[in-house]
């Protein structure tokens, strides 16, 4: 299994985003933002959208306003999988990649759902704070 940047001809998969389908495709690839796929034997089995920011965003607007293309905080703002266990795998591989890229922190900008909370806590993240429309979790680097 490998993680890599999403290719142009795979961008149609962004329509499957269960958390932030309203974010335009072009916005996912600008100002320190990227889409990472987990590939297994040629099949994409999980996707995570990320943004590099100067601090921990508490909402989408802050994520855009605090964009920082040279790193700092790596924010996973949406993740989904097509195979059981692949979401966990892509987050763990993203954490390893964040270490390699010398990011200071790996945090999430997660919806206020029980499913998101259980997913991140079960995968080793710690809750930072809950807000009106989202919550942040942090993975230890």
Q: For 97-131, write each residue's pLDDT tens digit.
A: 887 777 899 999 999 999 999 999 999 999 999 99
User: How far is 44 from 62, CA to CA, in rounded Å?
Assistant: 30
- pTM (predicted TM-score): 0.94
pLDDT for residue 16 is more than 80: yes
Q: Give rounded-to-5 percent helix, strand, coil for the chain.
A: 30, 35, 35
- The residues near 22 (Cβ < 8 Å, ≥ 6 apart) are none
User: How far is 65 from 57, CA to CA, in rounded Å?
Assistant: 9
Query: Architecture of 2-139 per CATH?
Result: 3-Layer(aba) Sandwich (3.40)
Query: What average pLDDT does this structure show over 56-76?
Result: 90
User: How far is 113 from 82, CA to CA, in rounded Å?
Assistant: 20
DSSP-derived letter for residue 13 is G
Dihedral angle sign, alpha carbons of residues 8, 21, 76, 25? positive
Kindly report the CA angle at 31 between 56 and 13, in degrees rounded to 5?
Answer: 95
pLDDT for residue 37 is more than 80: yes
Could you give phi then psi for residue 103, rounded to 5 degrees?
-75, 150
């Amino acid at each position: 299994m490998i993680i890599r940047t999403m290719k142009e001809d795979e961008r149609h998969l962004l329509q499957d985003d269960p958390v932030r389908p309203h974010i335009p495709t072009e916005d996912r690839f600008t100002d320190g933002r990227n889409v990472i796929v987990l590939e297994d034997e040629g099949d994409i089995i999980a996707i995570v959208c990320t943004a590099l920011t100067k601090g921990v965003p508490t909402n989408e607007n802050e994520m855009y306003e605090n964009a920082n293309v040279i790193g700092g905080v790596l924010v996973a703002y949406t993740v989904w999988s097509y195979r059981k266990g692949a979401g966990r795998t892509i987050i763990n591989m993203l954490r390893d990649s964040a270490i390699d890229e010398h990011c200071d922190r790996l945090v999430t900008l997660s919806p206020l759902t029980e499913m998101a909370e259980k997913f991140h806590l079960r995968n080793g993240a710690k809750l930072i704070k809950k807000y009106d429309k989202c919550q942040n979790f942090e993975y230890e680097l």
